[in-house]
Structure 1
Amino acid sequence: MRSKQKKKSRPKKILSQSKSADGPALKKPAIVRPIPDGAIAKVVVVGRPNVGKSSLFNWLIEKRIAIEDPTAGVTRDRLVQRVELEGRVFDLIDTGGMGFDDPDGLTAKIDAQIESGLGEATLILFVVEVRSGLLPGDRDVASRIRRTSAPVLVVVNKADDQKLDVHAHEFDALGLGPPLIVSVRQNRNRQSLVEAIVAHLPEPWPEEPDEVDLPEMKLAIVGRRNVGKSTFVNALACEDRVITSPIAGTTRDSVDVRFCTDNRSFLAIDTPGLRRAKSRKSDLDFYSTHRAQRSIRRADVVLLVFDASEPIGKVDKQLAELVVEESKPVVLVVNKWDLYAGGVERKEWAEYLRDTFRTMPWAPIEFVTAKSGRNVKAVVDTAQRLFRQSHSRVPTAKLNTILRSAVDANKPPADTRGRPVRIYYATQVENAPPTIVLSTSAPKSISEPYRRYLLGVLRKHTPFHEVPIKLFVRGRSMNADAADPRP
């Protein structure tokens, strides 16, 4: 009987009380710059809380991106989606409710996000709701909007019945033009709203794209609460693009942030911090968890972020399992390293990670200080390398040369009749993740240890050094869909 391998303990320094991370932020690095998208129009959705801004945002983009919840103040960050409607490409921007006093003390930061949206607006969608009528909060929003130079389209939401249309003209008193009456719930007048938006946009610039341009790579930044994910995204964007605070659960939506480096366009997806299942008590916790999981599926590369001051926990392991399940390339990012660089060796932390996450020994590890931007560009470079590996193709002839050498060095196990399993050929059928189908005489006789051996050989002799590989084993006469589904 094998003796149990002694589990490596976490670095002792991690258990000690962390130094304060407060203090003046260092100058942001010039190596990453905002994407030059001045030719893209910005349509900004504003209004007081609970008028249906996020519902209208999702309705227009035809995706459930923003959280829709009757609780006031759910939306905090600016949510941006690039869309193409009626031949025009523009960024649609959802914002938090104006005039809401955030119970977590984030009112000033939410307001700053709204102000940033108004400052870049090409067109403002001022959303009100017909059932409650014109309220003082609406007048306050209108007063603030008038200080901008952007045209305004008043959108009266929740007109679920045509009998309510007459009440919509109460908003004529705002002096911002005739209102457009819609109902997101009843899918009423969406086309009229789209046409009105396009009509209010200025003439297209020569540089405006004809269709939505896709980023070259999507990065999902995931981790448990308060590990510095939003700070990392701000370092990529070189601006305070998303709200950061020491309050757990500050980020609620998955926030898409475009950035540019090395003259290439990328998309960073800031995700809500996950909580343990038993700690998820509200609808917001459920929505946030679901969006974080969906962001992993959307991503080309996942950045799994850890706090250098905290030991690895159950939530970290759950996230790692989800990344492995989705077969996503992943970079293990240890943040807040500036506080521990003198007391803990990188090698010690790396061994701690390797011992904890044994299902992904191929994943590269990076150490960063997101607050100052230190090594942030190195993480992006590593992610680009993984992206290229994941999209690589290996010719069938080369794969079979590698396979023959592997079989010669270590023969396959015997089948149920005691005969050696014959391996006929291998071929790559897909990339991202690289997927290889192996044709054999007895698929079920290929043991798990032998599969791991073959994966190790393939990883060593193909471009897939640091990314997950899917290996399907099939019989000689079976198609790929009928192959042994174990990756």
Structure 2
Amino acid sequence: MDLPTVAIVGRPNVGKSTLFNRLVGRKLALVDDRPGVTRDRREGEGFIGDVAFRVIDTAGLEEADADSLLGRMRAQTEAAILEADAVLFVIDARAGVLPSDRPFAELVRRSGCPVILIANKAEGGAGMAGAYDAFSLGLGDPIPFSAEHGEGLGSLQDALREVLPEPDDEEEDEEGGKGLRVAIVGRPNAGKSTLINRMIGEERLLVGPEAGITRDSISLDWEWRGRRIKLHDTAGMRRRARIDDKLEKLAVSDGLRAVRFAEVVVVLLDATIPFEKQDLTIVDLVESEGRALVIGLNKWDLVADQPGLLKSLREDCTRLLPQVRGVSVVPLSGLAGEGIDKLMQAVVDASEVWSRRVSTARINAWLTDALQRNPPPAVSGRRIKIRYATQVKSRPPHFALFGNQLDALPKSYTRYLVNGLREAFDLPGTPIRLSLRTSKNPFDKS
């Protein structure tokens, strides 16, 4: 299969070769603190998750006479840009945008090739100011990244998936594409295996009235309305204090791994005894892991004759689970095969919300309005200032606020902002992360 081509470009010593090594999974390119180590174009097969591509490491772009060594290195880089399906333009987030970055940003922009702006060396949020400065290059939203530590790979995967050519269906089938990863979790005997058997149309998983039959996290390939789905059935999760069997401890940890590797998690509740304390704990775990979430009310056929019950349970969900406000609550019956289409549509919708990106301009227009309606409180006589905001990644949506004294912002105000983001940008039910970046005061000598 012919892979799309991605070229890594930027001025010297911004970490291009470290990024190349990270993408190919091996230390193929020489890396050193000195600029100009890379001279020839180096190629390898890169991948992030299920996105595969041919990646080219290039020499640092520098102004030079065409006949000189530096000039020939630049010509090699320009040839790589012409050959590429996408360009990763790398800057040093800690140094910020330098004058030497700008002519090469213009060169990349004129090429007409899709450009992904990488603000490298931003580990631990250290280069967020420089990352924000990168907006001035006019190459779109920068991805805060650390090639050294692998931070930002999820955001880069999303960006590459948007700009690279799609492989055709035959090639995807031959490669065994992973599809949307969905984990089904819940308390013992909530009906997880029965539901999956009904979904795939065969008695693939052992089921019965006894709790705890499933011990392994079972992975199954399935297709729903032409979409590839990888289903993970997991062992029932009980409170840790009640687990004394070694095998069950292993099974529960296997279920936790399934949650971490899933994109969407369906928390299956028993509709006859919903929202038990353990159900709430499981939802809290899914939210803390940052996964997209759907709540399934299984065994609905046993309670469907109770008028107003669904409305009441959805109100209970809003009250008991404010951290995932707006999450889809779907009634279904795994045994009768009812509600599965509605459940899967909710899963696909949750995945789309989880992956959503919002432009910086829209976020700051919302922020201006939110601050006018409810200004931040004052601390020690000085009002907290929030200057701007941006989305730093998706899956789940993660926003950063920049300003002064943000470490003193009350939790009630951050909740106000998170709820505002959720409502303004249609982010129901998904975990939302909010980072606070306080600007340093240049006059503070302490």
What residue in structure 1 maps to residue 248 of structure 2? 285
SS at match of 2:423: helix
- Secondary structure at 2:400 match in 1: strand
1:68-107 to 2 correspondences below 5 Å: none
In the alignment, structure 2 segments of 5+ residues that lack a partner are 1-169, 442-446
**In the superposition, relative to structure 1, how do residues 465 and 315 fare at CA in structure 2: closer, same or farther (>3 Å)?**
closer
Structure 2 counterparts to residues 121-136 of structure 1, below 5 A: none
Q: What is the match of residue 350 of structure 2?
A: 386
1:89-144 per-position Cα deviation (integer Å, ceiling 9, x unaligned)? xxxxxxxxxxxxxxxxxxxxxxxxxxxxxxxxxxxxxxxxxxxxxxxxxxxxxxxx
Per the normalisation by structure 1, the TM-score is: 0.53
Aligned position for 2:178: 214
Query: Counterpart of 1:389 in structure 2: which amino acid?
Result: V
Paired residue secondary structure (2:383): coil
Deviations 1:370-417 (A, max 9, x none): 1121111111101111111111111111110010010011101113x3
In 2, the alpha carbon distance for the partners of 1:308 and 1:211 equals 40
Q: Secondary structure at the match of 1:227?
A: coil
**Which residue does 1:242 correspond to in 2?**
205
d(CA) in 1 for partners of 2:374 and 2:191? 46
Partner of 1:466: 429
* Residue 371 in structure 1 maps to residue 351 in structure 2: no
Distance 1:464 1:210, change over 3 A: same
- Residue 269 of structure 1 is matched in structure 2 by 232
1:328 — aligned with what? Answer: 291
- Call closer, same or farther: CA 1:208–1:469 in 2, change over 3 Å: closer
Tell me if 1:419 matches 2:419. no
Give deviations 1:271-294, integer Å, cap 9, x for gaps: 000122222112111111101111
Query: 1:209, 1:370 → 2: CA distance?
Result: 29
Which residue, out of 249, 261, 266, partners 1:303?
266
Aligned counterparts of 1:323 and 1:276: Cα–Cα separation in 2: 15
Give 1:431's aligned residue: 394
Equivalent in the alignment of 2:15: none
**Aligned-residue offset at 1:313:** 2.6
Answering whether residue 416 of structure 2 is matched by residue 453 of structure 1, we say yes
Deviation at residue 438 of structure 1 after TM alignment: 0.4
Secondary structure of 1:359 counterpart: helix
Q: CA RMSD in A?
A: 2.0
Partner secondary structure for residue 214 of structure 1: coil
Q: In the aligned structure 2, how far is the partner of 1:319 from the partner of 1:477?
A: 39
Cα displacement (A) at 1:443: 1.4
Whether contact under 8 Å (2:325, 2:428) holds in the other structure is no
Q: Given the superposition, is the C-alpha separation of residues 207 and 326 from structure 1 closer, same or farther in structure 2, using an over 3 Å criterion?
A: closer
**Deviations for 1:204-226, whole angstroms, at most 9, x for unmatched residues?**
xx9795534121x1111100011
Q: Contact between 1:297 and 1:326, CA under 8 Å: does it hold in 2?
A: yes
| Partner AA of 1:226 in structure 2 | N
Matching of residue 260 in structure 1 with residue 223 in structure 2: yes
Equivalent residue for 2:367?
A: 403
Scaled by the length of structure 2, the TM-score of the pair is: 0.58
Q: Distance in 1 between matches of 2:399 and 2:274?
A: 36
Aligned 8 A contact 1:258 1:266 in 2: yes
8 A Cα contact 2:418 2:432, kept in partner? yes
Aligned mates of 1:290, 1:472 — CA distance in 2: 29
Tell me which residue corresponds to 1:354: 318
Specify the SS of the correspondent of 2:399: strand
Show the counterpart of 2:83.
Answer: none
2:232 alignment partner, SS class: strand
Q: CA deviation at 1:477?
A: 4.7
How does 1:126-275 map onto structure 2 within 5 Å? 209=173, 211-215=175-179, 217-275=180-238
Secondary structure of the 2:211 match is coil
Distance 2:172 2:385 in 1: 58
Instruction: Report the Cα offset of residue 311 of structure 1.
Output: 4.6
Q: Work out the number of aligned pairs and report it.
A: 272
- How far the C-alpha of 1:466 sits from its partner, in A, is 2.8
Aligned residue identity for 2:250:
Y
| Aligned residues of 1:276 and 1:314 also touching (Cα < 8 A) | no
Partners of 1:243 and 1:424 in 2: how far apart?
A: 56
Asked if the contact 1:329/1:363 (under 8 Å) is kept, the reply is: no
Given that 2:392 and 2:398 are in contact with CA atoms closer than 8 Å, whether structure 1 keeps it comes out as yes
> Are the structure 2 counterparts of residues 430 and 351 from structure 1 closer, same or farther at C-alpha, using a change threshold of 3 Å?
same
Whole-angstrom CA distance in 1 between matches of 2:437 and 2:359: 19
Contact 2:217–2:234, Cα closer than 8 Å, also in 1: yes
Q: 1:352 to 1:207 in 2, by over 3 A?
A: closer
- Indicate which of 442, 445, 448 corresponds to 2:405: 442
Relative to 1, partners in 2 of residues 1:282 and 1:422: Cα closer, same or farther, differing over 3 Å? same
Percent pairwise identity? 31
Supply the AA of the counterpart residue of 2:255: A
Asked if structure 1 preserves the Cα contact closer than 8 Å seen for 2:407 and 2:438, the reply is no
Determine helix, strand or coil for the equivalent of 1:220. strand
**Which residue pairs with 1:72 in the alignment?**
none
SS in 2 for 1:371: coil
Deviations 1:19-67 (A, max 9, x none): xxxxxxxxxxxxxxxxxxxxxxxxxxxxxxxxxxxxxxxxxxxxxxxxx
2: CA distance between counterparts of 1:371 and 1:340? 14
Are 2:386 and 2:406, in contact at CA under 8 Å, matched by a contact in 1?
no
Q: Residues 260 and 223 (structure 1 numbering): CA distance in 2 closer, same or farther, change over 3 Å?
A: same
Q: Which runs of 5+ in 1 are unaligned?
A: 1-205, 479-487
Determine if contact 1:220/1:295 at 8 Å carries over to the other structure.
yes
Partner amino acid, structure 1, of 2:353: Q
Instruction: Kindly indicate which of the two structures has a greater share of residues assigned to helix.
Output: 2
State how far apart, in whole Å, the 2-side matches of 1:279 and 1:438 are: 42
Residue identity matched to 2:294: V
Which residue identity is paired with 2:283? A
Q: 1:372 to 1:447 in 2, by over 3 A?
A: same
Worse overlay, 311-320 or 275-284: 311-320
